[in-house]
Copies of this chain bind each other. A is one copy, B any other.
Amino acid sequence: MTFNDKLRKITLKNNSLLCIGLDSELAKIPQHLKERGHPQHEFNQAIIKITHDLVCAYKLNTAFYEARGENGIRELKRTCDYLKESFPEIPVIVDAKRADIGNSNEGYTKFIFDYLSADAVTVHPYLGQEALKPFLDRLEKGIFVLCRSSNPGAGEFQDLEVNGKPLYQVVAENVADKWNYNNNCGVVVGATYPSELEIVRRIVDKIPILIPGIVTQGGDIEKTVKSGVDSEGLNAIINSSRGIIFAGDGTDFTQKARQEALSLKNQINEFR
């Protein structure tokens, strides 16, 4: 099954566009879990167990695991393995923001798609389509290209005018028109830029858009949903990380996470 098929199936089954970002920074997880053998993974497992019926995907940002070196990588893999075994119908997006020349990208695809068995990855566009071939050639995977990032300074290069339009639009056009020959591309657009999101949606038609930056970073839910979904009300993967997983910091953190996730899922559905 391709990433797109998997995404469509779970979106309909769970009636959800919500993606939970497992940005499980060790310093922020509840105290009682920190002494466990695999604290990040045990935290993730608890969050997944209580939210799996509310999501269309889980996203794991490698930065929060790499920070701990080989131990963190081991925990990242445990969570990916757990998801694959227990909830194989839920797509796993590894938010790695990789991209190198072709030769090196072979190594990154081995890490993300073979070692971690992820369903999708995020990549930087700067080196161009030719360099990203090892990613783009993976027919069954999802390749999300950074188009408009959610940070306040995103415009430094992304807003520069090229042929009468900002660079982020050229990236969106190239991905939609040229890179997507295997129908496995997506783009990333921050919820903090709803006007840009609306424009990108028009450019990419039905291509999935991964949308980080809601809640904690300040992205507005109504604008995000209305600008982000395609003509069928699908293919927007709206991610919240810290706002859900760190909603509580005591022994009731799973209940707090579920409340937040359920509330956000419902708010999103209101505007679809």
Contact = CB atoms under 8 A, between A and B. Distances in A.
A64 B105 CA distance: 9
B108 A63 contact: yes
A6 interface: no
A100 B157 CA distance: 14
B128 A155 contact: yes
Contact of A152 (B74, B130, B154): B130
Interface string A126-170: 111111000000000000001001111111111011110001001
How many copies altogether? 2
Question: Is the contact region of chain A dominated by helix, strand, or loop, or is it mixed?
Answer: mixed
A12 interface: no
A146 B116 CA distance: 27
A34 interface: no
Interface stretch (A42-50, A65-73, A203-211, A249-257): A65-73
Nearest to A102: B151
Most chain B beta-carbon contacts within 10 A, residue among A63, A98, A111, A170: A63
A39 interface: no
Contact of A127 (B77, B131, B153): B153
A97 interface: yes
Nearest to A97: B100
